[in-house]
């Protein structure tokens, strides 16, 4: 008697709480309807449609779907991707509740697509959604709001796949949402994605994983002081305890879930908790308690339109009345079950109708006889058809064989033509590469002439000086002053050493020119990259100055003294440096023509190892993009006009050039790319904008 009074009292209080929640919700809906009846702007209509959609999502998914469908085109017209994604996601949630899982999946995937296509400069979520969307913080930037929306879509996808019994996909999607929520530190989102994840683990027979999900969801909900989902969490914890054969813990969790769902006006949770409690009492044989909770579920389902929850309640009622032997009530709820199945699973509905039609044994026998006769006719027709098909196949095979022979002959002729064309293309390619190499040699010629002039001047000057010293030596010898003669001889020796040094310098420059002009042997040798860069910077600069007398540029050279010698083909890497420097010189020269007197053309040339990157233009702060921890890099940057965004993806393509006709083959960067790739390295455009361009060449050190 005491338990019955307690139940009636708790039921009365719960009904009062639910009526209070319904009344509060009704006020919001009525206010939104009054607003819509007025003369609102498109933005105002969109906000009110969103409010109606969100407030009706649990109690009336049909209307929620309707208002979300009205909201979406306005958000699209106003170019508001976050609001568009919101409308699509809530459309998907309404369709899940209505049991239309394929369309729900389409709507949710479209919501994700809208977020993916949204640009970074979109407006943040409208402040009018402050009370509508508890997942987003109004202080969040656009990227965080996009990620929050994406995580919520993953949560909804998890719910959809759970209801469609695709549990592994539900785990996959909710795992993505959990990662986003954890990364953002958004406890609301973490809570929402963990609930369907836990449900999926329960269905997959993994209660330990499911219990972890619900306990983490409970902790997240308590951390946010946002108890809306606590009823659902406790309901699902009860399911886990039941799976773990702990009925007492399950009953306690179900009762707590019922109370919390009632407090929050979460009708789905109220009905589901009542059905779950009734199921435990039915297992205990306490049929009076079963009926009380099922009736409580029936009272509250009037506030809810959710076929999946209805189906769960109807099945429990049918099971109860079957045990009670009340056939009329069993028939009533079996009919309701069929109706709910018709909404949720059309294929199952067809199967149910087929079972009803074949209930009578006589009809089954008639059908079996008709089926046997049909199969006999089909076997006969199949045999005749098979013979005809076999004959047709033989004719087709013979015909196809003849066509294949003719096709092979045609292909052989085309193959011969292609091989001839390929030989011609290879010859042309070789000629073009040679032309590019000769063009780069021409770029160096003036620089080489300038560089070789310095050691030649030293040789000539010291030779003249030695003539005078020899005359002085002869005079001192005539005088017999051996000491002075010995001093002059020592000066002669020092001068000869200097003549020899500068002669070797001139010889090295000539050899470098010859190496650049002849075909590469492809043999890699240990090379001091700093010396190679220094030499080609000076040669290229003086060569460019020789062609453009009024050209001046500031060279910012920073060579890492700790670089090891690395195995490279110095001639080929020199060509890469030459091409990048020539492009940089031309870029700053072009900008100097229009930039005004305050512009200072500047070229930055830096080398560094993989573990010593600070100060490199466009530095990405990665140890080694080529997967080799022992690598070196050469960075060349300019403060020219930059490369237009529309052609950045084409700069390494053969024959692509922005230079006027006659001023470039379009092979410079393409050949540079091939040379660096052949060395196992990487050449990349680090950055390019109106402030300049930066390239980086990375080479393995072993």
Rg (CA), the chain: 42
State whether 564 and 499 are in the same domain: no
Put simply, whether the predicted model's pTM sits higher than 0.85 gets the answer no
The pairing of strands 692-700 and 525-527 is unpaired
Instruction: Collect all residues with Cβ–Cβ distance below 8 Å to 223 and sequence separation of at least 6.
Output: 187
The rounded distance, in Å, linking the Cα atoms of 686 and 635 is: 9
Residue 331: Cβ within 10 Å count: 11
The rounded distance, in Å, linking the Cα atoms of 583 and 688 is: 13
The CATH code of the domain that includes 617 is 3.30.565.10
* Count of domains observed in the chain: 3
State whether 653 and 533 are in the same domain: yes
State whether 486 and 410 are in the same domain: yes
Any idea which residue has 């579920």 for tokens? 297
State whether 490 and 541 are in the same domain: no
- For the record, the structure tokens of 213 come out as 């999900």
For every residue of 563-622, which 3-state class applies, written as one string?
A: CCCEEECHHHHHHHHHHHHHHHHHHHHHHHHHHCCCCCCEEEEEEEECCCCCCCCCCCCC
Q: What is the pLDDT of residues 637-649, one digit of tens each?
A: 999 888 888 887 8
Q: Answer yes or no: are the C-beta atoms of 97 and 306 closer than 8 Å.
A: yes
State whether 567 and 696 are in the same domain: yes
Q: Given 483, 513, 543, which residue is the final one in a domain?
A: 513
Distances (CA, A) of 688 to 267, 616, 618: 57, 14, 9
Q: What is the pLDDT of residues 427-476, one digit of tens each?
A: 765 665 555 655 555 556 655 666 666 677 767 777 777 777 787 778 87
Does residue 142 lie in a domain region?
A: no
- For the record, the structure tokens of 49 come out as 């449609």
Tell me the backbone φ, ψ of residue 335, rounded to 5 degrees: -65, -40
The rounded distance, in Å, linking the Cα atoms of 668 and 450 is: 24
State whether 432 and 537 are in the same domain: no
Q: Given 92, 114, 133, which residue is the final one in a domain?
A: 133
State whether 453 and 534 are in the same domain: no
**What is the end-to-end Cα distance of the chain in Å, rounded?**
88
Instruction: Collect all residues with Cβ–Cβ distance below 8 Å to 683 and sequence separation of at least 6.
Output: 576, 652, 672, 673, 676, 677, 695, 696, 697, 698
Domain range for 436: 362-513
The rounded distance, in Å, linking the Cα atoms of 369 and 601 is: 96
At 5, is the secondary structure helix, strand, or coil?
helix
Does residue 102 lie in a domain region?
A: yes
> Facing residues of 608 across strands?
633
Does residue 591 lie in a domain region?
A: yes
Does residue 320 lie in a domain region?
A: no
Q: Answer yes or no: are the C-beta atoms of 57 and 93 closer than 8 Å.
A: yes
Q: Answer yes or no: are the C-beta atoms of 249 and 222 closer than 8 Å.
A: no
Q: Given 109, 133, 157, which residue is the final one in a domain?
A: 133
The CATH code of the domain that includes 35 is 1.25.40
Torsion angle of alpha carbons 584, 589, 593, 599, nearest 10°? Answer: 70
The rounded distance, in Å, linking the Cα atoms of 560 and 538 is: 18
Share of the chain above pLDDT 90, in %: 14
Does residue 350 lie in a domain region?
A: no
State whether 433 and 370 are in the same domain: yes
State whether 489 and 563 are in the same domain: no
State whether 479 and 626 are in the same domain: no
State whether 508 and 534 are in the same domain: no
Helices (H), 286-326: 287-301, 307-324
- For the record, the structure tokens of 371 come out as 């089926």
Break the chain down into helix, strand, coil percent, rounded to 5: 75, 5, 20
Q: Which of 544, 307, 340, 336 is nearest to 440 (CA)?
A: 544
State whether 431 and 563 are in the same domain: no
Does residue 139 lie in a domain region?
A: no
Distances (CA, A) of 293 to 276, 277, 331, 391, 549: 9, 7, 21, 70, 97
Q: Which of 451, 444, 455, 453 is nearest to 543 (CA)?
A: 444
Does residue 208 lie in a domain region?
A: no
Low-confidence ranges of the chain (pLDDT < 70): 1-26, 120-121, 124-140, 225-227, 303-305, 340-371, 373-374, 425-426, 428-454, 458, 502, 508-522, 610-629, 655-667
Does residue 209 lie in a domain region?
A: no
């Amino acid at each position: 008697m005491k338990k019955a009074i307690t139940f009636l009292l708790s039921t009365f209080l719960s009904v009062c709480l639910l009526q209070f929640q319904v009344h509060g919700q009704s006020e919001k809906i009525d206010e939104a309807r009054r607003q819509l009846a007025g003369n609102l702007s498109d933005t105002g209509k969109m906000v009110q449609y969103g409010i109606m959609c969100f407030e009706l999502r649990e109690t009336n998914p049909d209307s929620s779907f309707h208002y979300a469908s009205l909201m979406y085109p306005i958000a699209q017209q106003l170019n508001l991707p976050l609001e568009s994604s919101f409308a699509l996601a809530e459309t998907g949630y309404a369709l899940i509740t209505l049991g239309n899982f394929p369309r729900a999946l389409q709507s949710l995937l479209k919501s994700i697509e809208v977020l993916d296509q949204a640009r970074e400069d979109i407006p943040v979520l409208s402040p009018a959604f402050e009370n509508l969307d508890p997942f987003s913080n109004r202080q969040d930037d656009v990227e965080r709001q996009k990620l929050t929306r994406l995580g919520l879509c993953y949560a909804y996808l998890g719910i959809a796949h759970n209801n469609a019994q695709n549990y592994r996909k539900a785990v996959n999607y909710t795992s993505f949402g959990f990662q986003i929520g954890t990364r953002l530190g958004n406890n609301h989102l973490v809570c929402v994605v963990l609930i369907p994840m836990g449900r999926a683990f329960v269905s997959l027979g993994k209660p330990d994983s499911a219990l972890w999900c619900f306990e983490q969801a409970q902790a997240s909900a308590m951390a946010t002081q946002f108890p809306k989902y606590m009823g659902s969490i406790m309901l699902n914890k009860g399911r886990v305890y039941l799976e773990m054969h702990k009925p007492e813990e399950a009953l306690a969790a179900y009762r707590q879930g019922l109370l919390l769902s009632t407090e929050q006006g979460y009708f789905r949770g109220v009905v589901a908790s009542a059905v779950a409690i009734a199921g435990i009492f039915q297992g205990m044989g306490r049929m009076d308690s079963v009926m009380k909770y099922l009736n409580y579920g029936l009272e509250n389902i009037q506030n809810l339109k959710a076929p999946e929850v209805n189906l769960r309640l109807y099945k429990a009622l049918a099971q109860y009345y079957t045990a009670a032997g009340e056939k009329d009530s069993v028939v009533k709820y079996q009919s309701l079950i069929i109706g709910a199945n018709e909404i949720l699973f059309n294929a199952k509905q067809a199967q149910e109708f087929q079972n009803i039609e074949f209930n009578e044994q006589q009809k089954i026998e008639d059908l079996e006889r008709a089926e046997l006769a049909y199969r006999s006719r089909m076997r006969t027709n199949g045999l005749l058809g098979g013979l005809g098909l076999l004959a047709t196949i033989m004719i087709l095979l013979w015909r196809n064989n003849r066509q294949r022979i003719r096709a092979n002959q045609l292909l052989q002729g085309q193959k011969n033509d292609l091989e001839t064309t390929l030989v011609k293309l290879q010859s042309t390619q070789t000629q073009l590469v040679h032309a590019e190499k000769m063009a780069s040699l021409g770029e160096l010629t003036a620089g080489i002439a300038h560089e070789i002039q310095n050691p030649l001047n030293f040789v000539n000057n010291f030779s003249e000086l030695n003539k005078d010293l020899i005359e002085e030596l002869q005079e001192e010898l005539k005088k017999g002053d051996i000491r002075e003669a010995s001093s002059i001889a020592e000066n002669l020796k020092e001068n000869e050493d200097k003549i020899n040094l500068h002669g070797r310098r001139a010889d090295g420059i000539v050899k470098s020119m010859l190496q650049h002009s002849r075909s590469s042997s492809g043999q890699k040798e240990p090379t001091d990259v700093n010396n190679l860069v220094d030499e080609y910077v000076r040669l290229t600069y003086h060569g460019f100055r020789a062609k453009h007398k009024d050209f001046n540029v500031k060279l910012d050279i920073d060579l890492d003294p700790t670089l090891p010698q690395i195995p490279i083909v110095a001639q080929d890497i020199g060509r890469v440096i030459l091409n990048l420097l020539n492009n940089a010189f031309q870029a700053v020269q072009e900008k100097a023509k229009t930039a005004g007197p305050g512009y200072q053309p500047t070229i930055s040339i830096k080398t560094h190892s993989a573990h010593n990157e600070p100060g490199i233009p466009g530095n990405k702060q990665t140890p080694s993009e080529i997967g080799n921890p022992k690598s070196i890099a050469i960075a060349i940057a300019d403060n020219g006009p930059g490369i237009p965004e529309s052609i950045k993806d084409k700069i390494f393509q053969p024959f692509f050039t922005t230079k006027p006709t006659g001023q470039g083959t379009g092979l410079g960067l393409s050949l540079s790319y091939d040379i660096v790739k052949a060395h196992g390295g990487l050449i990349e455009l680090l950055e390019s904008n109106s402030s300049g361009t930066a390239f980086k060449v990375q080479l393995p050190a072993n």
